[in-house]
Amino acid sequence: MRLPIEPRHVAPRLATGAFMLNSGLSKRAADEQTAAMLHGMAKNTYPFLGRLRPATFARLLCAGETALGAALLLPVVPTVVAGAGLTAFSAGLVGLYLRTPGMREEGSLRPTQEGTALAKDTWLLGIGVGFVVDGLTRRGR
Protein backbone atom coordinates (compact mmCIF):
# COMPACT_ATOMS: atom_id res chain seq x y z
CA MET A 1 0.00 0.00 0.00
CA ARG A 2 1.36 3.41 -0.99
CA LEU A 3 0.97 6.12 1.63
CA PRO A 4 -0.55 9.48 0.57
CA ILE A 5 2.56 11.45 1.54
CA GLU A 6 5.73 12.28 -0.33
CA PRO A 7 9.15 11.66 1.27
CA ARG A 8 9.85 15.42 1.18
CA HIS A 9 6.83 16.00 3.43
CA VAL A 10 7.99 13.71 6.23
CA ALA A 11 10.29 16.15 8.07
CA PRO A 12 7.92 19.16 8.09
CA ARG A 13 4.97 16.93 8.99
CA LEU A 14 6.90 15.42 11.90
CA ALA A 15 8.10 18.82 13.14
CA THR A 16 4.75 20.59 12.91
CA GLY A 17 2.78 17.54 14.02
CA ALA A 18 4.87 17.02 17.14
CA PHE A 19 4.67 20.74 17.93
CA MET A 20 0.88 20.87 17.52
CA LEU A 21 0.29 17.61 19.40
CA ASN A 22 2.41 18.80 22.32
CA SER A 23 0.66 22.17 22.35
CA GLY A 24 -2.76 20.52 22.39
CA LEU A 25 -1.91 17.95 25.04
CA SER A 26 -0.41 20.63 27.28
CA LYS A 27 -3.84 22.30 27.43
CA ARG A 28 -5.62 19.14 28.69
CA ALA A 29 -5.30 20.16 32.31
CA ALA A 30 -5.70 23.92 31.81
CA ASP A 31 -6.86 25.52 35.04
CA GLU A 32 -9.46 28.29 35.15
CA GLN A 33 -6.86 31.05 35.04
CA THR A 34 -5.11 29.57 31.99
CA ALA A 35 -8.43 28.97 30.23
CA ALA A 36 -9.49 32.56 30.93
CA MET A 37 -6.19 33.92 29.58
CA LEU A 38 -6.39 31.84 26.38
CA HIS A 39 -10.04 32.72 25.88
CA GLY A 40 -9.53 36.41 26.62
CA MET A 41 -6.83 36.80 24.00
CA ALA A 42 -8.85 34.88 21.41
CA LYS A 43 -12.16 36.68 22.01
CA ASN A 44 -10.49 40.10 21.82
CA THR A 45 -9.36 39.24 18.31
CA TYR A 46 -12.33 37.09 17.30
CA PRO A 47 -15.37 38.49 19.18
CA PHE A 48 -17.68 35.59 18.22
CA LEU A 49 -15.61 33.41 20.58
CA GLY A 50 -16.98 35.49 23.46
CA ARG A 51 -20.08 33.28 23.39
CA LEU A 52 -18.04 30.35 24.70
CA ARG A 53 -17.12 29.82 28.33
CA PRO A 54 -13.35 29.92 28.91
CA ALA A 55 -13.22 26.26 29.99
CA THR A 56 -15.15 25.21 26.87
CA PHE A 57 -12.84 27.26 24.66
CA ALA A 58 -9.77 25.68 26.26
CA ARG A 59 -11.20 22.16 25.76
CA LEU A 60 -12.01 22.89 22.11
CA LEU A 61 -8.57 24.40 21.54
CA CYS A 62 -6.97 21.34 23.14
CA ALA A 63 -9.02 19.00 20.96
CA GLY A 64 -8.32 20.97 17.78
CA GLU A 65 -4.57 21.18 18.31
CA THR A 66 -4.38 17.52 19.31
CA ALA A 67 -6.39 16.39 16.27
CA LEU A 68 -4.33 18.56 13.94
CA GLY A 69 -1.08 17.26 15.41
CA ALA A 70 -2.26 13.68 15.02
CA ALA A 71 -3.36 14.31 11.41
CA LEU A 72 0.08 15.66 10.57
CA LEU A 73 1.84 12.73 12.25
CA LEU A 74 -0.32 9.97 10.77
CA PRO A 75 0.95 9.08 7.29
CA VAL A 76 -2.49 7.83 6.21
CA VAL A 77 -3.82 11.40 6.23
CA PRO A 78 -3.09 12.98 2.84
CA THR A 79 -0.68 15.89 3.08
CA VAL A 80 -3.08 18.23 1.28
CA VAL A 81 -5.75 17.50 3.92
CA ALA A 82 -3.37 17.91 6.86
CA GLY A 83 -1.99 21.04 5.16
CA ALA A 84 -5.46 22.54 4.80
CA GLY A 85 -6.07 22.04 8.53
CA LEU A 86 -2.68 23.51 9.39
CA THR A 87 -3.29 26.49 7.10
CA ALA A 88 -6.68 27.25 8.63
CA PHE A 89 -5.48 26.92 12.21
CA SER A 90 -2.28 28.89 11.72
CA ALA A 91 -4.11 31.65 9.83
CA GLY A 92 -6.10 32.19 13.02
CA LEU A 93 -2.88 32.37 15.02
CA VAL A 94 -1.34 34.85 12.60
CA GLY A 95 -4.56 36.87 12.87
CA LEU A 96 -4.02 37.04 16.63
CA TYR A 97 -0.52 38.35 16.00
CA LEU A 98 -1.63 40.97 13.48
CA ARG A 99 -4.69 42.19 15.43
CA THR A 100 -3.54 42.15 19.04
CA PRO A 101 -2.19 45.51 20.20
CA GLY A 102 1.40 45.47 21.38
CA MET A 103 2.45 42.41 19.40
CA ARG A 104 4.10 44.39 16.59
CA GLU A 105 6.32 47.42 16.43
CA GLU A 106 4.36 50.52 15.46
CA GLY A 107 3.78 50.63 11.68
CA SER A 108 5.67 47.39 11.11
CA LEU A 109 5.22 43.64 10.87
CA ARG A 110 8.27 43.17 13.10
CA PRO A 111 7.32 41.65 16.44
CA THR A 112 7.82 43.29 19.80
CA GLN A 113 9.32 41.17 22.56
CA GLU A 114 5.77 40.24 23.60
CA GLY A 115 4.79 39.44 20.01
CA THR A 116 7.59 37.00 19.25
CA ALA A 117 5.64 34.04 20.67
CA LEU A 118 2.81 34.70 18.18
CA ALA A 119 4.96 35.84 15.26
CA LYS A 120 6.66 32.47 15.12
CA ASP A 121 3.34 30.95 14.04
CA THR A 122 3.97 32.33 10.56
CA TRP A 123 6.18 29.31 9.88
CA LEU A 124 3.18 27.07 10.53
CA LEU A 125 1.18 29.05 7.99
CA GLY A 126 4.00 28.81 5.44
CA ILE A 127 4.29 25.04 5.84
CA GLY A 128 0.52 24.58 5.62
CA VAL A 129 0.21 26.68 2.46
CA GLY A 130 3.18 24.82 0.97
CA PHE A 131 1.49 21.46 1.64
CA VAL A 132 -1.76 22.61 0.06
CA VAL A 133 -0.11 24.15 -3.01
CA ASP A 134 2.08 21.10 -3.51
CA GLY A 135 -0.87 18.75 -3.15
CA LEU A 136 -3.08 20.67 -5.54
CA THR A 137 -0.43 21.21 -8.21
CA ARG A 138 0.81 17.59 -8.13
CA ARG A 139 -2.69 16.18 -8.64
CA GLY A 140 -2.82 17.56 -12.15
CA ARG A 141 0.35 15.76 -13.20
pLDDT at 5: 86
pLDDT at 77: 95
Selected residue with higher pLDDT from 105 and 141: 105
Write out pLDDT tens, residues 118-131: 888 999 999 999 99
Write out pLDDT tens, residues 52-91: 999 999 999 999 999 999 999 999 999 999 999 999 999 9
Residues 77 and 4 sit within 8 Å (Cβ to Cβ): yes
Give buried/exposed letters for 77-90 (b at 16+ CB in 10 A, else e). Answer: bbbbebbbbbbebb
The model's confidence at residue 140, banded by pLDDT at 50, 70 and 90, is: low
Torsion, Cα of 33, 39, 44, 46 (10° steps): 180
Q: Where are the domains of the chain?
A: 10-139
Residues 99 and 57 sit within 8 Å (Cβ to Cβ): no
Q: Inform me whether the pLDDT recorded for 141 exceeds 60.
A: no
pLDDT at 43: 96
pTM of this structure: 0.91
The model's confidence at residue 139, banded by pLDDT at 50, 70 and 90, is: low
Tell me what the mean pLDDT of segment 98-111 comes to: 93
Q: How far is CA 140 from CA 5, 32, 59, 85, in A?
A: 16, 49, 39, 21
Q: Inform me whether the pLDDT recorded for 35 exceeds 90.
A: yes
DSSP for 40-77 reads HHHHHHSGGGGGS-HHHHHHHHHHHHHHHHHHHH-TTS
Residue 121 to residue 97: CA distance in whole angstroms: 9
Residues 2 and 46 sit within 8 Å (Cβ to Cβ): no
